[in-house]
């Protein structure tokens, strides 16, 4: 059974860098076709894909946020870390990590999600 859990600060100040950690079990990012994505959802708004990292360290970023995002993995800890620089109140959202299977194929899907972590941006 795949489980994912997001952790990180619940409050950040404008201009600060947000660092979130996704801790997972039930799969390994050393295995072919595995990946972990980050997706966010502002209050009462739609889902927005942010970034994704694959088992072979291939990384994908949302074009609109590429300059502010960094995604990394630590396979020994079964963790994926997302950094988002220069935080602004519009970045306030619930941030989810999700497992992706059948990586880089048309069949790719976000089949398991964490519970999400709510991040507020305020001075």
Partner 1 sequence: SYELTQPPSVSVSPGQTASIPCSGDQLGDKYACWFQQKPGQSPVLVIYQDNQRPSGISERFSGSSSGNTATLTISGTQAMDEADYYCQTWDRSTYVFGAGTKVTVL
Residues 103-122 touching partner 1, rule: CB under 8 A, are 106-111, 113-116
CA gap 24, 30 in Å, rounded? 13
Q: How far is CA 8 from the centre of its chain?
A: 12
Q: Which lies closer to partner 1 via its Cβ, residue 25 or residue 64?
A: 64
Q: Give the tokens for residue 63.
A: 């074009």
Q: Tell whether residue 23 is a contact of partner 1 (CB under 8 A).
A: no
Q: Which lies closer to partner 1 via its Cβ, residue 43 or residue 123?
A: 43
Binding partner 1 (rule: CB under 8 A), the pick from 46, 67, 76, 90 is: 46
What backbone phi and psi angles, to 5 degrees, belong to 71?
A: -120, 135
Instruction: Provide, rounded to whole angstroms, the least separation between the CB of residue 1 and partner 1.
Output: 11
Q: Which lies closer to partner 1 via its Cβ, residue 71 or residue 114?
A: 114
Q: How far is CA 83 from CA 2, 89, 108, in A?
A: 23, 16, 24
Q: Tell whether residue 43 is a contact of partner 1 (CB under 8 A).
A: no
């Amino acid at each position: 059974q795949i489980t994912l859990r997001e952790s990180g600060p619940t409050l950040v100040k404008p201009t600060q860098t947000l660092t979130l950690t996704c801790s997972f079990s039930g799969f390994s990012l050393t295995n072919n076709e595995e990946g972990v994505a980050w997706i966010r959802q502002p209050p009462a708004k739609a889902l927005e894909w942010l970034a994704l990292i694959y088992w072979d360290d291939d990384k994908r970023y949302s074009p609109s946020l590429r300059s502010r995002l960094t995604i990394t993995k630590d396979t020994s800890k079964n963790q994926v870390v997302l950094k988002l620089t220069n935080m602004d109140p519009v970045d306030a959202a619930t941030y989810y990590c999700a497992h992706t299977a059948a990586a880089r194929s048309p069949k790719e899907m976000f089949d398991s999600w964490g519970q999400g972590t709510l991040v507020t941006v305020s001075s």
